[in-house]
Structure 1
Amino acid sequence: MKKEVIVKKPNQLISILPKESISLIQQKSYNVFLRNAQNEVRYSKEEIKEDKRYIFEISCRKLEQKAGLNKKNYDYLEEELQKLMSIVIKVIDKENKDNWKMFHLLDEVDKEDNVFKYVLNPLIVQALKEQTYFTKLDLLEVAKLDSKYSVILYELAIRYYDKRNPDIKIPKMSIEELRKRTNTEQQYKRFYNFRKNVLDKACKEISKKTDINLSYSTEKIGRRIAYINFRTKRKEVAKKEIESRVMNTVKEYSPKVLELFNLLPQEEQVEAHKKEIEALLAEHSFRYLKADIEYAKEAQPDNFIAFLKASCKNSHYSSAELEKQEMKKELGKKREEEKKKKEELEKRIGKKAREMALEKYELLTEVEVESYKQEYDKMAEVVPESIRPAKEDYIIGALEDKFKEELKELLFS
């Protein structure tokens, strides 16, 4: 029985209309990045903040395995990730198309030794954490697909799956909209070529390799083919198998057990080990078990579970490291508090400096005004008029900067 690997990918992301083409390697890698990030944030009680950087890590080996990349793909991965970072995304609200947001699909990637560190936009992290309006994607199914159009249509089909309805209904879609989704607006101009290279190829591959059967019919306006009606049905064996496993998981194991299980190395994520973790959790704290798992992953023992049990039995090998982490966390908390205090003080300084500048401006002598005008004229010689401030704003700004420096010198010296 194959191992099911699920990512709950935000439907809003599937509705994305990228201005640049997204390759198959980029799609598969990004799906793995999302699943890895979701495992880290979904049980966290930390509030997602728009001004915070969210950094995640995944080993090169795990990315290669989960994305189904071969050696040839892996050689081009750096170039593909660089292209992925350059993609600017416009997400359109499904309820009101006049509302939209724009951001980078991937903010930053850093490869150090055999680990990838990557940064996701807080909007994406929030969606992963909330687990609402999500599409379940089986990464092992996606990894089988060779065509990027197959990945796009597979994600779209699963998005509209409703287990209460055995048929999956994708809304009727115009040719123009489908071309936008597949980024083929400038390719396959003749519908015959579009049908052959995009629709037929993707439907055939999805039906052959994945857990759903996908077909379509066309609808004309006059003599022109204007719409596509997709017909998608989940294969009965795959559907029953997945639903059965999901029901058993919910019935037998708590969220804490599942969270610890997902922290295990990929090769250790077998069903029997859930019971082992459940037994350990009955006698040891979640915090220490989590730390022991991370410690064991660093140690890379021949028998991972035996090493984990021995750690629990011998007062936790990770205890010293955990204490260091607590101290580091406390130090980080203090630094964060100091940073906030400093930021608040600088805001107050800025506000006060602004008030003083406005008052001083009204009291400037003619000589002082003339001096500032001369400075302004020199600036105007090199700064284009389109971005040049008004003369009054320039003088007030100069006064404001002066008062800021004076106040900082008084407070911080």
Structure 2
Amino acid sequence: MISLKKEVIVRKPNQLISILPKESISLIQQKSYNVFLRNAQNKVKYTEEEIKEDKRYIFEISCKELEKKAGLNKKNYDYIEVELEKLMSIVIKVVDKENKDNWKLFHLIDEVDRENNMFRYVLNPLIVQALKEQTYFTKLDLLEIAKLDSKYSVILYELAIRYCNKRRPEIKIPKMSIEEFRRKTNTEDKYSAIKDLRKYVLDKACEEISKKTDIKLNYSTEKVGRRIAYINFKTERKELSKKTIETKVIKNVEEYSPQVLELFQLLPSLEQIETNKRELAQLLKGHSLRYLKADIDYAKQAQPDNFMGFLKASCESGHYSSAKLEKQERKEELARQGEEEKQKKQELEKKIKQKAHQKAKEKYEKLSEKEIASYAKGYESLPKMLKEKVSKKEFVLGAVEEEVKQELRELLLLIED
């Protein structure tokens, strides 16, 4: 059985990777903030609500989830309040690349509080808008970041992943001056000797990233005269088969209901992995098969990056497909009502015909010769061929029957009115 490693992805705005706070951001702050961003993005990226600059955007995440996804241990967790307080104090300046006179200042996080094992935090609308639009974003695997112990590793990993593109290997981290690198890593006042900067920052970060994450990161230096002036980074994605696919022998194979298996077959082929059967089984506990099938179809059309995340968000938000499904249900209901009305009319017409046939026979027996002659007026004008097939009596009975049918129909209309 092949089990795929589950990725926890956040699309972090590239601006938030390349801009620089005036204070150093610690490792715990970096990891916690990444989790906050991912959590917020899951709440806003599929909503149709317009992001407004004058609105407060409040998000929640459990303490347990933050601890798990940020890779925090008990020691970290004991003083996370202090770290978050420092994070709130960081002011970010974003400068327009085309016009450096245009800039914006804002806090990475506006407000945070903890109550009943839940964190509530407020993000600036600029950040929320960026998370929603997913424009110029970098995919960050939070499970990869959680493995890193050095804050410099996190900075370089986020930078490397921004430029690492397997399909376009010519795209790479731009050549960086030593001064720019120091600004990005907040080491202007540390490791003044280049050998120390290489040993404690560059070498350590590249080694940890290459060993623990899905990226291989190396670098080389470039001199101007006798001084090392620039750093050139080289990024490379590790092979997918080595990183994400693990072969496991599952002794106790779970059995799933026919409804789960039916939904599983509807998933895109890349989503048909064993863990998603469990996800579907869980969703079926709180949602109908009909709505889940409609949501899967809706997600296929939307083609989100995180298919199962989109599907679960749809269920939690009252089903994105509900309007479409309700419209379809209304259409089906109208069709059903139309079919019932049609069958009802056919059945009624059948009864009218039977009743008219019976009444016509009874009425015919009571007709005088003069009345029969009146009904038979049209008979003599019939073609000879028809006269050979229809007798005068049958012609008169037919005329009487049509007359009785019309009387019965008019009577029914009066009753319905």
Q: Same fold (TM over 0.5)?
A: yes
* 1:272 partner amino acid: K
Distance 1:75 1:277, change over 3 A: closer
* 1:27 partner amino acid: Q
* 1:142–1:151 Cα contact (<8 Å) kept: yes
* 2:112–2:122 Cα contact (<8 Å) kept: yes
Distance 1:144 1:179, change over 3 A: same
Distance 1:54 1:239, change over 3 A: farther
Residue number in structure 2 paired with 1:374: none
Superposed, which structure 2 residues align to 1:188-207 within 5 Å?
188-207=191-210
Whole-angstrom CA distance in 2 between matches of 1:253 and 1:29: 33
Residue number in structure 1 paired with 2:375: none
Q: Is 1:30 equivalent to 2:33 in the alignment?
A: yes
* 1:55 partner amino acid: I
Q: Is 1:185 equivalent to 2:188 in the alignment?
A: yes
Q: Is 1:272 equivalent to 2:312 in the alignment?
A: no
* 1:237 partner amino acid: L
Distance 1:93 1:272, change over 3 A: farther
RCO (CA 8 Å, sep 6+): is it higher in 1 or 2? 2
Whole-angstrom CA distance in 2 between matches of 1:110 and 1:202: 32
Q: Gaps (5+ residues) in structure 2? A: 246-264, 296-311, 316-417
* 1:55–1:120 Cα contact (<8 Å) kept: yes
SS at match of 1:144: coil
1:105 corresponds, among 103, 108, 115, to 108
Residue number in structure 1 paired with 2:88: 85
Distance 1:287 1:112, change over 3 A: farther
Whole-angstrom CA distance in 2 between matches of 1:168 and 1:212: 15
- Per-residue CA deviation, residues 228-257 of structure 1 (Å, 9 max, x unaligned), is 000110101269859xxxxxxxx9659xxx
Q: Is 1:20 equivalent to 2:23 in the alignment?
A: yes
* 1:213–1:234 Cα contact (<8 Å) kept: yes
Whole-angstrom CA distance in 1 between matches of 2:72 and 2:293: 34
Whole-angstrom CA distance in 2 between matches of 1:122 and 1:77: 24
Superposed, which structure 2 residues align to 1:346-365 within 5 Å?
none
Residue number in structure 2 paired with 1:147: 150
- Per-residue CA deviation, residues 294-330 of structure 1 (Å, 9 max, x unaligned), is xxxxxxxxxxx9xx9xxxxxxxxxxxxxxxxxxxxxx
Shift >4 Å, 4+ stretches: 238-242, 251-254, 277-282, 285-288
Residue number in structure 2 paired with 1:64: 67
RMSD: 2.9
* 1:234 partner amino acid: R
1:117 corresponds, among 112, 117, 120, to 120
Superposed, which structure 2 residues align to 1:294-309 within 5 Å?
none
* 2:166–2:237 Cα contact (<8 Å) kept: no
2:78 corresponds, among 71, 75, 94, to 75
* 2:177–2:230 Cα contact (<8 Å) kept: yes
Whole-angstrom CA distance in 2 between matches of 1:252 and 1:21: 48
SS at match of 2:191: coil
SS at match of 2:126: helix
Q: CA deviation at 1:286?
A: 10
Distance 1:22 1:162, change over 3 A: same
Residue number in structure 2 paired with 1:55: 58
2:49 corresponds, among 46, 51, 54, to 46
Q: CA deviation at 1:188?
A: 0.8
Q: Is 1:235 equivalent to 2:238 in the alignment?
A: yes
Q: CA deviation at 1:16?
A: 1.4
1:219 corresponds, among 219, 222, 231, to 222
Q: Gaps (5+ residues) in structure 1? A: 243-250, 259-268, 289-304, 309-413
Residue number in structure 1 paired with 2:5: 2
- Per-residue CA deviation, residues 350-372 of structure 1 (Å, 9 max, x unaligned), is xxxxxxxxxxxxxxxxxxxxxxx
Distance 1:16 1:83, change over 3 A: same
Distance 1:287 1:2, change over 3 A: closer
SS at match of 1:152: helix
SS at match of 1:232: strand
* 2:134 partner amino acid: Q
Whole-angstrom CA distance in 1 between matches of 2:97 and 2:131: 18
* 1:58–1:117 Cα contact (<8 Å) kept: yes
* 1:217–1:229 Cα contact (<8 Å) kept: yes
1:159 corresponds, among 157, 162, 166, to 162
* 1:9–1:128 Cα contact (<8 Å) kept: yes
* 1:211–1:238 Cα contact (<8 Å) kept: no
* 2:276 partner amino acid: E
Aligned residues: 270
For normalisation by structure 1, the TM-score amounts to 0.61
Q: CA deviation at 1:282?
A: 4.4
Distance 1:287 1:65, change over 3 A: farther
* 2:153 partner amino acid: S
Whole-angstrom CA distance in 1 between matches of 2:279 and 2:106: 38
* 2:214–2:243 Cα contact (<8 Å) kept: no
Whole-angstrom CA distance in 2 between matches of 1:48 and 1:204: 41
Distance 1:285 1:211, change over 3 A: closer
Q: CA deviation at 1:164?
A: 1.6
- Per-residue CA deviation, residues 61-89 of structure 1 (Å, 9 max, x unaligned), is 00000000000000110000000000001
Whole-angstrom CA distance in 1 between matches of 2:44 and 2:18: 23
Q: Which moved more, 1:118-127 or 1:95-104?
A: 95-104
